[in-house]
A = this chain, B = another copy of it.
Amino acid sequence: MSDKYVEMLRSRGYRITPQREMIIEELAKTNAHMAAEEIHDSLKSRTKSLNIATIYRTLEMLVEEGLACRNDLGGGCVVYAITRHGPHIHLVCRLCGQVIEADYELLTDLGYKLKQEYGFEADLRHISLFGICSKCQREQEETRS
């Protein structure tokens, strides 16, 4: 599943190390967005020591090659995902931290209007919006009563 990405890198002259394979596999096997530290935790059970610096370097390389996308969720939280993943909206819950992926279609009209009215070419392909998810809304209401 991650072989496609590995071959792509090899053909571009990158060396394929077990560390790089593991990182790509970890990202590719899930649709989730992962922080560098999460990838580290997840993999260090399998290997004794995969250094965090190597993870940062590999992620940076993947983003440069267009194989991964980087998402700054604010508050110092940065996550990465494999690009196969088409464009989508990240709905980040301020209370529980959950990230919901919403349909990109909801933004096409906005993108069009920003271009028309302000001449601004917005990159809306992986934006993050903050708010409260439905579960936390319910919990807030229960607490209030």
Contacts and interface: CB of A to CB of B under 8 A. Distances in A.
Interface of A: 72, 74-75, 91, 93-94, 100, 102-103, 106-107, 109-110, 113-114, 117-124, 127, 129-134, 137
Contact of A121 (B107, B118, B121, B137): B137
Nearest to A89: B114
Contacts of A100: 118, 120
A117 B101 CA distance: 12
A109 to B, nearest CB: 7
Nearest to A101: B118
Nearest to A123: B131
B121 A129 contact: no
A141 to B, nearest CB: 12
Contacts of A122: 91, 129-131
A130 B144 CA distance: 37
Contacts of A103: 117
